[in-house]
Amino acid sequence: MGSACLFFRQRLTALALDKRDQPSNFPAMSRDPHTPAPPAVTMSDADVAADVAADVAIVGGGLAGLTLACALGGAGVSTVVIDRDPPGAQLAGSFDGRTTAIAYGSAKVLEGAGIWAAVEPEAGPILDIRVTDQHDPLFLHYDHREVGDRPFGWIVENRVLRQALFQRLAALPTVTHLAPVAVTGLMRGADSARLTLADGRTVAARLVVGADGKKSLCRENAGIRLDGWSYGQHAIITNIEHEFSHGGVAVELFLPSGPFAMLPLTGNRTSIVWSERAEMAGWYLALPEERFTAELRTRVGDWLGQIRPIGPRAAYPLGLMHAERYIDRRLALVSEASHAMHPIAGQGLNVGIRDIAALAEVVVDALRLGLDPGAADVLERYQRWRRFDTVSLLATTDLLTRLFSNNIPPLAAARRLGMAAINGLPPLRPMKRLLMRHAMGIVGTLPRLVRGEPL
């Protein structure tokens, strides 16, 4: 892992994302390391007077922002979550047809936030993971029974997560959900912050959390620089129905154009995350149903029997991005507001959920001691806690993407032998178990919620 982190640091300093290689809907990366942060704003008592006041204001009502609101609200923290999208529209299948891999550790966070009981019946457990290189007979196999009796994780449709989050929010008296309304202004002072909304209302809080994604207004307001690059790939997303049971098996098939993942949903359904060269993704999306199914069949193989696509198809650009810092005066960034990675290991939202668990813990601990949840030392604790885990996973996913998204014979031979060695050699079994625990999200200094403890 040390070499991977070194590789990542070298990539951050040596590479900049050239705009001509950057998909038009992937956020631009700042390339000026000397960009100054905006000056601090001093707010008087009159300035702070607002229509809504809370200890924490969360900008962004996606999966990350809503999960944090539920975690804080469950601990009795006064919280406002602001979302520009109407809640009803977010529950429509056309809004977001994606699925999410929820690692075991992340499920514990959702359980602690009061969400998981409504999600688990509609979540497909991951009992085995099989990693193979272009259908080669040498592969890596993870069996959940080697590390306990619980699944590695679950595959959940995003609409299911949103439904559970909205239900939980409605039951939390200390959480105010403002939607649909956009944030149009943010001032952060020495003692508090003030947000201006598009409808003219104002919100005052001691801490603002940016959970507003890759094009974060909060991050831009703080002048926080991004590093990153595009992989020149898009993720094609769809679901399939199939004849035979998947048996709770998740398959990661590495192809020269990018990884092709088959992820078990409930019943005889599987989620497909197909990484493809950016210039080809649109062509595949536009294929008639019969030809698209044939393309899927060549990659899925025959282990699921007859297959047919169900639901919409969509494609999303893939890249890596990392904020130079996760905090600023009265501000903390979580999830894709501070980092984004390739879905090769299914860890994107899981890293964000660990952000949420760590931030919720430091905020709740501060409030219990009568301290300011937006104070600099509280936010520094959050940033120190989250940086190593985040950078390590960014480095690992970047390295894996580059190692496997090619057809170079020496590399292909080396990676196949490496997977076979980890899979079968007894001296490497401790390493294999460690990798499985990493996949479950239960390695490192874990927040209380990840450990299954209450805030």
Q: Is 128 helix (H, G, I), strand (E, B) or coil?
A: strand
* Token reading at 347: 């860890």
Domain chopping of the chain, boundaries: 2-440
Joined together, the tokens standing for residue 188 give 């952060």
Phi then psi dihedrals of residue 413, to 5 deg: -65, -45
pTM for the model stands at: 0.88
CATH fold of 2-440, please?
A: FAD/NAD(P)-binding domain (3.50.50)
What single DSSP character describes residue 302? S
Of all residues in the chain, what percent carry a pLDDT higher than 70? 89
Per the DSSP assignment, residues forming a β-bridge with 202 are 196
pLDDT score for 415: 82
Residues 353-405: pLDDT tens digits? 999 999 999 999 999 999 999 999 999 999 999 999 999 999 999 988 988 88
What are residue 7's phi and psi, to 5 degrees?
-60, -45
Q: Please check the confidence at residue 31 and state whether its pLDDT lies above 50.
A: no
Dihedrals φ, ψ of 38, to 5°?
Answer: -60, 150
Q: What would the pLDDT profile of 243-279 be if each residue is shown by its tens digit?
A: 999 999 999 999 999 999 999 999 999 999 999 999 9
Q: Give 198's DSSP letter.
A: T
